[in-house]
Amino acid sequence: MRLTALLCCLCAALAHADGQARAVPDKSVIRAGRIQSSAVREASGLARSGIRAELLWVLNDSGSPAVLHAIGLDGSDLGRVRLPQIDNIDWEDLAAFSGHGRSWLLIADIGDNLALRSNVTLYVVEEPAPGAQQAKVAWQVSLRYPDGPRDAEAVAVDAKQGRAYILTKRTLPAELYAVPLWPDEHRDDALITADFLGPVASIPQPTREDLGRSLRDQDWYWQPTAMDFSTHTDRAVILTYRAAYLYHRRKNQSWLKALQQKPQVFSLGDIKEAEAVSLGENALFVTVEALHAPLYRININ
């Protein structure tokens, strides 16, 4: 084995061990409730409402109807909103943000398990008002990656910068990309090439042994499945199948540099297949892909 390969394996093993050792005890993960709606079967995106503090928005994974589901902080069913203009090819994340005096939701149709999609799409809708049953897409961002298709499930927004960020899932390490957010920065029908920002290796990386047994054990603990930014508190979270990683951004620091720092680790313990996360000022909310999935709350300082 070459020296560089040996060092990579050693660093990955140390990162994995360190991430496990520093994990917050499982008691930090509080079960807030269960998603009551039987229409939410594969929750893959979660976002805190910018209009109602007691509401979360959630969406289903690929092949489901193009619908946004409203749930309470205890998972109670608060209704659903149809989006008749678009299809759910492979919806993988949901982000909430504010701008121009309004609250918005960004739907990330970016899943690509086999890396076959030549381009993927971010859809933006104004956050539906209470009681709304239907919403329209305000604008969309169609994008491709500069170095070929990528599978991704994690998106976050910085509305002040006017950028949406995408973190890839299957590359080692994960890679961070960015695209313009607001419609006045591009034509709605334009195909944008995302900017490659750099690698994010701060979450535990798999060892050679992990990779060898991952298919047998159905365990890809290192893969990022969701992401969220809080520009008010300069914090970010990356969710993997087994843990949430909280980052603090320093003044004038880029999001890439912030995500390359050592994070605070919240172990999800025996929870598997964590797929969706929302970052608020005082708490993280996490859920998994399952019918009547549990909804977890992690209080943060």
Torsion of CA 40, 32, 51, 245, to 10 degrees: -90
Mean pLDDT for 160-173 is 97
- Looking at residue 269, its pLDDT comes to 87
Task: Return contacts of 280-286, CB within 8 angstroms, 24+ apart.
Answer: 280/48, 280/230, 281/230, 281/232, 281/233, 284/237, 284/244, 284/246, 285/32, 285/46, 285/48, 285/56, 285/73, 286/29, 286/46, 286/239, 286/244
3-state secondary structure of 257: helix
List strands edge to edge, sheet with 43-48: 43-48, 55-60, 67-72, 77-82
CATH number of the domain where residue 171 is located: 2.120.10
- Looking at residue 26, its pLDDT comes to 63
**Torsion angles phi and psi, residue 34, rounded to 5:** -140, 140
> What are the tens digits of pLDDT across the range 184-218?
776 667 899 999 999 999 999 999 999 999 989 88
Residue 64: give the domain boundaries. 3-299
> What are the tens digits of pLDDT across the range 17-61?
334 434 444 678 999 999 999 999 999 999 999 999 999 999 999
pLDDT reading at 16 higher than 70: no
DSSP structure class, residue 28: G
| Overall domain count for the chain | 1
Q: To the nearest whole number, what is the mean pLDDT of the chain?
A: 90
204, 15 in Cβ contact below 8 A? yes
